[in-house]
Structure 1
Amino acid sequence: MKDKDDGWLRIHVYELRVGMCVCRLEDPRQDSPFLFDRIVIENQADIKTLQDLCDYVYIDVKWQKASAGAIPTRGTDSIKHLSFARSFNQTANTFYRTGNLIKTVLDDIRFGNQFSVSAVKQAVAETVDKVMENPDAMLLLTQLKDQDQYTAQHSMNVCVLSILLGRELKLSLDELNKLGFCGLMHDVGKMKVPLEILNKPGRLEDDEMAVMRQHTLHGRNVLMSARNAYPGAVDVAYAHHEHLAGTGYPRGLGKSALSLFTRLVAVVDTYDAITSDRVYQKGKPHLEALGILVKGMNQHYEANFVTQFINCIGFYPQGNLVELSSGEVGIVVEQNKADRLKPKILLIRDHNHQPMAERILDLAVTGTDMNGNRYGIKQVIRPQDYAIDLSQYCRDGKFSQAYPVVS
């Protein structure tokens, strides 16, 4: 984007929002159906028409600032991209490529075929690179959950979250690659569990639970038979349900017998499992999941790893849906390292919970709402409870666009 001396701003048509004033189309592909050269965008249909006409337009920034009510609810001082927007699509492509690979690997294991260890290592290496380059976007992508693809998506999320925690712990690049491999492959043994037990919608009976718990043994065997697999992944697959106090399964091992990677993966595995919808239960909110981890410190989970995990993802991680004190609803898109209770939020619902023109709200900068009341996060909410599909936001390119900033 670049500014012109006359107050025009060149933007991509996918950055257009209701209330903007378009004063020029760049290289339109056909004649414009609009009657006037200056177009005040009134609805999403206007935006769609402009997107069909051209790739770039010029908007009148001075008009937008001066025009009362041009963007509903409050004024805006600027139009900005999210912090991770510039490389979000590349990051998402890596995330989905690795996610699709683990689906293939799991299918191979279920049908007794050999899987490509080298392909898995390459995918993990690319994932590590993207976590290091764009950790905020990677964290957001782990929140786009799909109940129908639970095992594959859970494996991918544990991979990413393990790398994020390892990064927080300042592990070397080689260690992060090994850790990512462990996280991605930790649940492969579930592919040897009968589907009627793995996908049972109700509570498992004792004999069924015994069969389910054998996935740790199956995972050990699968990885031991895989040529050139990282040996540490065998330990993680076999022991990630063990507890520090020796109360886990399958062997009742204590802390001294558990590898560093096993203890680390156990924390993020529990977190992602708790916050995910599964066939037999709804996922719990983020803060409730953290509470469970904190309660289990020293008995179930390594206390330092739990603490560092909370430091890593924050109280309101990217991708979490929150309801504000004003009643507005938004997606957390950026952390505020100086004050973790005041993140940046992409507003998507107004105070009546109705769709609105998206805008960025920085709680560290904007202290009061339109009624002069102090802004704050009321609660973390489940997207399903508000009929919001975060995956659709990703598919629609919402996280790579620029938005007006609430002043």
Structure 2
Amino acid sequence: MFKRISVQHLTTGMYIYEMCGPWISHPFWRSAFLLTDASDLQRLRKSKVTEVWIDPARGKDIAPGVPCVVWDPQQTSDPDRTPPTAKPQARPLAAIDTAPTSLGKELHTAMALCEQSRDAMLDMFSEARMGRAIGMDMAENLVNEITGSVLRSPDALLSVARLKTADNYTYMHSVAVSGLMVALARKLGHDEAAVRRAGMAGLLHDLGKAHMDPAILNKPGQLTDAEFAHIKGHPRAAYDLLCGSSDMDATVLDACLHHHERLDGGGYPDGLGGDEISLLARMTAICDVYDAITSDRPYKKGWPPSESLRRMAEWTGTHLDKRLFETFVKTVGIYPVGSLVRLQSERLAVVSEPSVKSLTAPRVVVFYCTQSQRNLSPQLVDLSQPGQDRIVCQEDPGEWPFTHLETLWRKGAAATA
């Protein structure tokens, strides 16, 4: 016998059999579990889920007088008492709106998706640390939602996911790499199934870090040889963990195991080189490196996107696949959203949206004059239009005292919604 109750009547010790609502409405990797942690109870009450099904046979029952809907599987189901499905209420990709839209319109959805995805990944890493098998249903749900957002407007999710902190890096890195993989696969012309495999590889590639020593993983200084050897074990740990999932795709498993291999054979864990490294693993390597070096980490500040792309270009041929990297640059743009740039007019601007016409002429929000050293009234400018200013270089935001760049590019994107 199952009971549907309000989340306000939930208490620790109850067994949640199913959340009432789509997966994206709640922050948990699992859809069914024994509620033992008070912090999980608070997270659930703050989510968009208003009701859950509980199984009193596997946990605490409700107190007398608490309103509920009862469903007994031994009796004829009442159409007004929708029984639990025992399955996560996922939205298949076919049911997700993928019609292209503007960056401004997609931003709000992307922000909510990143928040939910971060919590889901945190929960999944916790499950992995405890040695529990990873169910692929929830991973597929997350990849579907990420894919839908990227198809609607690729720059929205990628821009928001880049705004991670050192504290949530591990979880948001997985989400960001998944989005980058979906965008790259689309740019390469892959079919829907291949795009979803790419998203899954990006989402799961670092799951092995759940078994790494947090003190080493987050060490602010240089690693010793022994510490680096420990960290190099995370691809194999991910592979071993995911092999326990019966429906795991073999190419995704391979990408999780070999995304740190190098074309010159100098990578790990197996020292593969050249064509020995699969296409999906080579794609994952590029997306993983880009998000890692553009992000703030406990031991170093992230590089600006343009500097990151310049460095990565130097690593092609030895570390990264040159052809795939060239396509990747077209995917993220030479000046990704949020980049601080200097214009020929000696004004500074922040990139608010790529241009469909030119990689070097995005839409920007001009806001500062370097000659007079004063703030300007923010102005949205499409550099791809005839007679407009042009970018001469990208600036390092760390060398300027600006703290409002994120607000500027978001307002600029919203203005084109």
Question: TM-score of the superposition, structure 2-length normalised?
Answer: 0.69
Query: Deviations along 1:318-356, whole A, 9 cap, x unmatched?
Result: 222223344543321222233322110123445566665
Does 2:131 align with 1:112? yes
> 2:102 touches 2:416 (CA, 8 Å); kept in 1?
no
In structure 2, do the counterparts of structure 1 residues 366 and 248 end up closer, same or farther at CA, with 3 Å as the change threshold? Answer: same
> 1:331 touches 1:345 (CA, 8 Å); kept in 2?
yes
Q: 1:380 aligns with which of 395, 398, 407?
A: 395
Query: Deviations along 1:288-313, whole A, 9 cap, x unmatched?
Result: 22122222222211111001001112
Match of 1:402 in 2: 415
In structure 2, do the counterparts of structure 1 residues 199 and 385 end up closer, same or farther at CA, with 3 Å as the change threshold? Answer: farther
Q: 1:256 aligns with which of 263, 275, 285?
A: 275
Match of 2:30 in 1: none
User: How many angstroms apart in 2 are the aligned matches of 1:107 and 1:125?
Assistant: 22
User: How many angstroms apart in 2 are the aligned matches of 1:132 and 1:270?
Assistant: 23
User: How many angstroms apart in 1 are the aligned matches of 2:415 and 2:275?
Assistant: 50
> 1:328 touches 1:353 (CA, 8 Å); kept in 2?
no
User: How many angstroms apart in 2 are the aligned matches of 1:366 and 1:305?
Assistant: 32
* Secondary structure of 2:168's aligned partner: helix
Match of 2:77 in 1: none
User: How many angstroms apart in 2 are the aligned matches of 1:143 and 1:385?
Assistant: 19
Match of 1:144 in 2: 163
Match of 1:290 in 2: 309
User: How many angstroms apart in 1 are the aligned matches of 2:159 and 2:258?
Assistant: 28
> 1:143 touches 1:320 (CA, 8 Å); kept in 2?
no
> 2:133 touches 2:244 (CA, 8 Å); kept in 1?
no
Query: CA offset at residue 392 of structure 1?
Result: 6.0
Match of 2:379 in 1: 359
> 2:350 touches 2:408 (CA, 8 Å); kept in 1?
no
Does 2:170 align with 1:157? no
Question: TM-score of the superposition, structure 1-length normalised?
Answer: 0.71
User: How many angstroms apart in 1 are the aligned matches of 2:322 and 2:416?
Assistant: 39
How do residues 121-200 of structure 1 correspond to structure 2 at under 5 angstroms?
121-200=140-219
Match of 1:315 in 2: 334
**Aligned partner of 1:401: which letter?**
A
Q: Report the count of equivalent residues.
A: 316
Query: Deviations along 1:230-281, whole A, 9 cap, x unmatched?
Result: 3322211211110112111111012232221101111111111111111111
User: How many angstroms apart in 2 are the aligned matches of 1:324 and 1:99?
Assistant: 36
* Secondary structure of 1:147's aligned partner: coil
> 1:244 touches 1:254 (CA, 8 Å); kept in 2?
yes
User: How many angstroms apart in 2 are the aligned matches of 1:114 and 1:349?
Assistant: 52
> 2:103 touches 2:153 (CA, 8 Å); kept in 1?
yes
User: How many angstroms apart in 2 are the aligned matches of 1:329 and 1:335?
Assistant: 17
Does 2:228 align with 1:228? no
In structure 2, do the counterparts of structure 1 residues 375 and 204 end up closer, same or farther at CA, with 3 Å as the change threshold? Answer: same
In structure 2, do the counterparts of structure 1 residues 259 and 212 end up closer, same or farther at CA, with 3 Å as the change threshold? Answer: same
* Secondary structure of 1:386's aligned partner: coil
> 2:261 touches 2:269 (CA, 8 Å); kept in 1?
yes
**Aligned partner of 2:202: which letter?**
G
Query: Deviations along 1:359-393, whole A, 9 cap, x unmatched?
Result: 3111223746xxxxx54343232368434265667
> 2:110 touches 2:160 (CA, 8 Å); kept in 1?
no
Computed over aligned residues only, the root mean square deviation of the Cα atoms, in angstroms, reads 2.6
| Range that drifts further, 328-337 or 243-252 | 328-337
Query: CA offset at residue 403 of structure 1?
Result: 7.4
Match of 1:51 in 2: none
* Secondary structure of 1:250's aligned partner: coil
* Secondary structure of 1:113's aligned partner: coil
User: How many angstroms apart in 2 are the aligned matches of 1:382 and 1:145?
Assistant: 16
Match of 2:232 in 1: 213
Query: Deviations along 1:21-71, whole A, 9 cap, x unmatched?
Result: xxxxxxxxxxxxxxxxxxxxxxxxxxxxxxxxxxxxxxxxxxxxxxxxxxx
**Aligned partner of 1:376: which letter?**
I
* Secondary structure of 1:299's aligned partner: coil
Query: Percentage identity across aligned positions?
Result: 29
Query: Deviations along 1:137-190, whole A, 9 cap, x unmatched?
Result: 223223323122111111111111111110100111111111101001100111
In structure 2, do the counterparts of structure 1 residues 131 and 274 end up closer, same or farther at CA, with 3 Å as the change threshold? Answer: same
User: How many angstroms apart in 1 are the aligned matches of 2:152 and 2:398?
Assistant: 27
> 2:104 touches 2:416 (CA, 8 Å); kept in 1?
no
In structure 2, do the counterparts of structure 1 residues 338 and 179 end up closer, same or farther at CA, with 3 Å as the change threshold? Answer: same
* Secondary structure of 2:235's aligned partner: helix
* Secondary structure of 1:247's aligned partner: coil
> 1:141 touches 1:319 (CA, 8 Å); kept in 2?
no
In structure 2, do the counterparts of structure 1 residues 116 and 329 end up closer, same or farther at CA, with 3 Å as the change threshold? Answer: farther
* Secondary structure of 1:323's aligned partner: strand
* Secondary structure of 1:112's aligned partner: coil
Gaps of 5+ in 1: 1-81, 369-373
In structure 2, do the counterparts of structure 1 residues 120 and 389 end up closer, same or farther at CA, with 3 Å as the change threshold? Answer: farther
> 1:333 touches 1:346 (CA, 8 Å); kept in 2?
yes
